[in-house]
Amino acid sequence: MAVVVEHFFLGCLAHASYLISSEGIAAVIDPQRDVDIYLDRARENNLKIEHIIETHLHADFVSGHHELAERTGARIYLGNGSGATFPHMPTKDGDFLQFGQCRFDFLSTPGHTVESISIVLTDLGDTSRPRAIFTGDTLFVGDVGRPDLSGTHGPQELAAMLYHTLHDKVLKFPEDTEVFPAHGAGSLCGRQMSSERSSTIGKEKRTNYALQARSCEEFVRLLTDDLPPLPSYFIRDVELNRQGAAALDGIPPPKPVRAAEVSRLQSQGAVVVDTRPTMQFAVGHVPGSVHIALSGQYASWAARVVGLDKRIILVGEDLDHVRESQMRLARVGIESVDAYLDDGIRGWIAAGRDLNYIPQITVQELAELLLNQRERPTVLDVRESGEVALGAIDNSVRIPLGQLQTRTSELDRDKLVVIHCKSGYRSSIATSILRRAGFRDIANLTGGYDAWKALSAAGYAGSIG
């Protein structure tokens, strides 16, 4: 029986995991926290999950390896030196695992982290060449892993390790060897990942920007110059994964609370997180809410903006929305979702409570405002530096969303602040951050920079950038 590789992709975290099976036995590589998807697939295909492999201790999500092992009896494999406190098999160069027609050879591939490993898959039905390599965060499609996740090694040191890992080990495999990474476009573990889910060694040699560096020194500079700040929750998630996270069914569901209780909890430090679409939030929301729409990279932004420890009150469109929100938050280690607003915004209005709102402004209106030399607004661009480099509104203030909470002092509170990102998701989050910080005269640019660029291309805003 052939070796079957199944790919699971979790879009909200840009996280890829894999179930590899042969002759009734299966292994899971880099599982997400909610592990029922693997158990259901194994049940459907009469498979027994006997092996769980982590390419490293993940920083951007909480892994389900511990729960999956408890529910299946499978053995967990990690790179040597991980420091994991749960039962596991440490691996090093030369170690291998075999079941059915599948053989895994383990490679120590440090650089993204010290304990990182890659797994080389050979189908024993054709031993003439390896079939694929599961590279974790060592090699992505179009990128490589960020080198700043170690508490004992600096970014330059890790980047040099990664250069030698790639050129001395990974890139030595035949060019048609498939590459299956742990992340895709949108992940915080790299900067220029492709939206493609897999690649080959040959294609990455030709097209991956990081692999074009002509020396180790150039590679180190490429990876460490202008390295985006490390999200603060990354270190916490690494430790959760080192210990093994608790089973999800141990997290109690949030309780419905009415408007008066929401206000009381807010006064005690709880944060209202509104997960509805942008326009619903803009029209009316609980004062002091943080807006993070469930439609995008919700959990990642919640971890960066709210943190892992704040008590959270959810506002959603319905109960299913609330449950989905809690699940996504648990995937990044946020387990303090105590409550949700009973009957949503309708319940808040029925209680006679005031609503806050965020004005929306079109690109045409912004263009007219910018022509007024006496009362020009501040244009705040919350995109990442790589996006800004490809084009920006003239004279805008550039503060990436992940840094906004600590840099609000750079903005003039006495002027209208018009906030934009690429299309509107991140700028809505930014409006809620500024409103919570006391900014009253703000507006969200509908359509974001994409709409501005289209207007400029039409010649309407050509004179102002």
Specify the pLDDT at position 1.
60
**Alpha helices per DSSP H over 112-249:** 155-168, 201-207, 216-224, 233-243
CA of 457: how far to CAs of 293, 364, 380, 450, in Å? Answer: 30, 13, 21, 11
421 catalytic residue (yes or no): yes
Domains of the chain: 4-243 (3.60.15.10), 251-350 (3.40.250.10), 360-464 (3.40.250.10)
Structure-token pair, residue 191: 């900067």
Q: Which entry of 12, 102, 189, 421 is annotated as an active-site residue?
A: 421
Q: By the 8 A CB rule, do 286 and 356 touch? A: yes
d(CA 371, CA 80): 61
In the chain (465 residues long), the average pLDDT of successive 10-residue segments reads 92 95 98 98 98 97 97 98 96 96 98 97 94 97 94 93 98 97 89 90 97 97 90 94 93 95 96 97 97 93 95 95 96 95 96 97 94 88 92 96 96 96 96 97 97 84 45
Structure-token pair, residue 137: 């965060």
Cβ contacts of 148 within 8 Å, gap of 6 or more: 155, 158, 224, 227, 230
Specify the pLDDT at position 386.
85
Phi, psi of 292 (to 5 degrees): -140, 105
The SS3 call for residue 218 is helix
Specify the pLDDT at position 460.
65
